[in-house]
Amino acid sequence: MQNLYYEVNSLDIRACEQFHMSEDILMEHAANGMAKYIQDFYPSARTVLIISGSGNNGADGIALARLLHLHLDVRLYLHKQPSTLIGQLQLQRVLSLGIKPVEKIEDADVIVDALFGSGLSREIDQESSALIEKLNCLKGKKVACDIPSGLNKDGHVYKHAFVADVSLSMGGLKKALFSDKAKEYAGQVQQIDLGMHKDLYENESNWKLLDKSDLKPPHRTKKNTHKGSFGHLALVRGDKEGAAIISALSAFSYGTGLVSLVGQNVSSLPYSIMQDEHLPDNTTAIACGMGLGKNFQRERLSPVLSHDLPMVLDADIFYHSIFYDLLHKEIIITPHPKEFVHILQTLGLASITVQELQEKRFHYAELFNTKYPHIVLILKGANTIIAQHNNFYINPHGTPALSKGGSGDVLTGLCGALLAQGYNCLEAAIQASLAQTLSASSIDKNSYALSPEDIIKGLSCL
């Protein structure tokens, strides 16, 4: 689990004031980290094109040119002359070595984008936009210095953005690199240190990035147990029984001792799944909403949802009035963007479109959390956001293969499975999200062919 930052300028200032670093030292380490990455990961590269802007991001690129010029054929293109003192100094250093900026852009083995970085706060001009488009058409490996140009601090993409194979985030990891929009542009994200150990450079952030190593499957270590030792999950069966069955199988495959569908009997169930018209007495957690149907009768839900048990809610339940009666409880909710927009509007928090949500996912997750801090929100997306009590977690391990009906039902089943086994809501949400995405990414299938059954099967190998 790693810290994420909206900006790191304050960390740079702290490094200079508290640890007696300097802007020049920090920049040298940034450039050296980029040079080392390029040499280590592109050992066969012979040419490098560096596109430099007028700010400090451009100055990083100019410093990189100086460090690489004895190893590679360096082509430094100045989109604009440096406007900062440190940028002007870096250019003097480059010119003193006989490195002459090039006048036109040609393809190279490695293309480095050092145009704007994380400081972009406005629409880019037409000339810069055309330049980015041209860079995206080149065939070389593409490296973004800090963040791809065209991406702002909120992770919003302006008209065009540089499409990177890798983004080298300077100092700390930028939250902007993990917006849903950024997923198309950032590529692999690597953190470059600035000459200080991260424990000294960083301070604690309430936004965290989940690593693969944060996954802790519910391995059974105690030997003297029985099926009741691992909980009993009850899932409300709605109009579309298939969704509830997928959730039930997901839960049963992730450690729950007993799983029951509650409601009208299903004619054909997998042998491992039980069913009951009423909530079983030994139920330890409840899941509801998967395939429920928007016209499901409230009087059929009330007897189940009135119990004071750990609960995860998904899908159609968000369109029922009873959901809004449950918001005083500590529960997990797992909306996709369209459902979350509906929730925000119904609660009077925001009247926005799905597109507006996707452009400011971080903001609206924080908005909901401020009003309902006790609820665990899993806002599904390319980079899923999990939130509770002003703590936010981003799961970046999602894959387009999950864009299939039933994937969300698997996630709800995983949440329910862990709640039933005694996990608290936040830990259940984090672990369920990681389990779903890492199982999906481990399946050896074409990206278009993944099914919910594949994800469930993959759980056994985590």
Strand partners, 52: 78, 114
Strands 285-288 and 110-114, how do they pair? unpaired
Whether pLDDT at 158 is above 80: no
196 with 165, same domain: the answer is yes
195 with 220, same domain: the answer is no
Two tokens, residue 269: 């169930």
- Which structural domain, as residue segments, surrounds residue 345? 214-461
Whether pLDDT at 348 is above 90: yes
In which order are the strands placed within the sheet that holds 73-78? 73-78, 47-52, 110-114, 141-145, 166-170, 188-192
272 with 368, same domain: the answer is yes
pLDDT band at 3 (very low <50, low <70, confident <90, very high): very high
Two tokens, residue 445: 């299938």
323 with 406, same domain: the answer is yes
Strand partners, 188: 166
**160, 188, 206: which is the final residue of a domain?**
206
48 with 180, same domain: the answer is yes
**206, 240, 269: which is the final residue of a domain?**
206
- Number of domains forming the structure of the chain: 2
- Summarize pLDDT for 203-238 with one digit per residue, the tens: 999 999 999 999 999 988 888 888 887 899 999 988
pTM metric for this prediction: 0.92
- Summarize pLDDT for 386-425 with one digit per residue, the tens: 999 999 999 999 998 888 899 999 999 999 999 999 999 9
401 with 338, same domain: the answer is yes
139 with 258, same domain: the answer is no
Average pLDDT over residues 161-179: 94
pLDDT band at 119 (very low <50, low <70, confident <90, very high): low
276 with 379, same domain: the answer is yes
| Burial letters 391-430, b for 16+ CB under 10 A, else e | ebbbbbbbeebbebebbbbbbbbbbbbbbbbebebbebbb
320 with 449, same domain: the answer is yes
Return the percentage of the chain with pLDDT > 90, whole number. Answer: 73
- Summarize pLDDT for 47-85 with one digit per residue, the tens: 999 999 988 899 999 999 999 998 999 999 999 899 899
Maximum Cα–Cα distance across the chain: 82
Task: For residue 128, give the CATH number of its domain.
Answer: 3.40.50.10260
409 with 284, same domain: the answer is yes
Task: For residue 349, give the CATH number of its domain.
Answer: 3.40.1190.20
367 with 270, same domain: the answer is yes
**183, 206, 229: which is the final residue of a domain?**
206
Question: What is the length of the chain?
Answer: 462
333 with 229, same domain: the answer is yes
- Summarize pLDDT for 265-317 with one digit per residue, the tens: 777 888 888 999 889 999 999 999 998 888 888 878 888 898 899 999 999 99
